[in-house]
């Protein structure tokens, strides 16, 4: 693979970003100006420079974007004479292929691998919106909270806000805004039920892997030795939980 092919069609600033692979690099450029293209080329560049393909993790926000990046990088590497082995979405083999996925799908992977460290069995289920509403209603009923006083959607919003601020139920009082005590009670009951039923909600897919890595150095070590190069597309859209999860994943030099 040669470097001219990798940066073919890119301008100088893009090429500079592609080749900036030591330390942290932030790319800021206008809409449609070729930021995602930089990420795929950078992945090819790293591999050309001898990086183990599986040491590259690229995160995106939508499945569509992840799929598109996967296709782009495969095509680019193929053109450059490097045929990546096919790694199915559920595979936990991280040796031979770069991983381009969403934050949530990374979360699923991490929980399947390490969830038991935080009390989540491997065979957990992910709640959809309806299941989540049902679960909140059950909690409200048990706590004698009239759904007319607190609509389930308010409770769901509160729980989601807490989780995006990395607050488990026991810490939910630390949330910036003032909420009635019943919000905290519902979160506690909801959390207990999720645990008892081996279910997680969407926000748990970020929060729980974060907690795994925060509290379990051995899991952190595995991840930090596995992914040596981490890229985030659409970085401006990252929330606190996603930011802290990424921060846990890479080794601070």
Ligand X SMILES: Nc1ncnc2c1ncn2[C@@H]1O[C@H](COP(=O)(O)OP(=O)(O)OP(=O)(O)O)[C@@H](O)[C@H]1O
Residues in touch with Mg ion (CB under 5 A):
35-36
Q: Are 163 and 206 in contact (CB under 8 A)?
A: yes
How far apart, in whole angstroms, are the C-alpha atoms of residue 155 and residue 157? Answer: 5
Q: Which residues within the stretch 138-177 sit at the binding site for ligand X (CB under 6 A)?
A: none
How far apart, in whole angstroms, are the C-alpha atoms of residue 35 and residue 69? Answer: 12
Query: Is the CB of 1 or the CB of 230 nearer to Mg ion?
Result: 230
* Residues in CB range of 29: below 8 A, 6 or more apart: 13, 35
10 binds ligand X (CB under 6 A): yes
**Residue 11 interface partner, choices Mg ion, ligand X, none, CB cut-off 5-8 Å depending on type:** ligand X
Q: Which residues within the stretch 19-58 sit at the binding site for ligand X (CB under 6 A)?
A: 29, 31-37
Query: Is the CB of 102 or the CB of 172 nearer to ligand X?
Result: 102
**Residue 172 interface partner, choices ligand X, Mg ion, none, CB cut-off 5-8 Å depending on type:** none
> Looking at beta carbons, which residue is closest to ligand X?
34
How many DSSP H helices and E strands does the chain contain? 11, 5
List the beta strands (DSSP E) in the chain. Answer: 56-60, 99-102, 125-126, 199-200, 229-232
Q: Which residue has the tokens 């299941």?
A: 131
**Residue 60 interface partner, choices ligand X, Mg ion, none, CB cut-off 5-8 Å depending on type:** none
How far apart, in whole angstroms, are the C-alpha atoms of residue 206 and residue 204? Answer: 5
Site mask, ligand X, residues 182-221, x = CB under 6 A?
Answer: ----------------------------------------
Binding site for ligand X (CB under 6 A): 9-11, 14, 29, 31-37
């Amino acid at each position: 693979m040669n470097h001219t092919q990798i940066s073919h069609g890119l301008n100088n600033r893009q090429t500079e970003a592609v080749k900036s692979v030591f330390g942290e690099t932030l790319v800021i450029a206008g809409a449609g100006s070729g930021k995602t293209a930089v990420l795929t080329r950078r992945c090819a560049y790293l591999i050309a420079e001898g990086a183990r393909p599986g040491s590259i993790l690229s995160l995106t926000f939508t499945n569509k974007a992840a799929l598109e990046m996967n296709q782009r990088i495969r095509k680019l590497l193929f053109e450059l004479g490097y045929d990546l082995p096919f790694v199915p979405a559920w595979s936990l083999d991280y040796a031979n292929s770069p991983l381009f996925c969403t934050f949530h799908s990374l979360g699923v992977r991490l929980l399947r691998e390490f969830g038991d460290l935080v009390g989540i069995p491997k065979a957990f289920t992910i709640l959809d919106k309806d299941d989540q509403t049902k679960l909140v209603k059950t909690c409200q009923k048990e706590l004698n909270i009239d759904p007319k006083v607190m609509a389930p959607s308010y409770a769901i919003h509160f729980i989601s806000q807490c989780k995006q601020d990395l607050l488990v139920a026991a810490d939910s009082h630390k949330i910036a805004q003032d909420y009635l005590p019943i919000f905290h009670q519902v979160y506690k009951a909801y959390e207990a039920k999720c645990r008892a039923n081996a279910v997680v909600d969407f926000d748990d897919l970020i929060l729980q892997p974060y907690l795994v890595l925060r509290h379990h150095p051995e899991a952190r070590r595995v991840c930090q030795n596995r992914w040596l190069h981490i890229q985030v597309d659409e970085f401006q859209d990252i929330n606190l939980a996603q930011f802290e999860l990424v921060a846990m994943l890479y080794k601070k030099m």
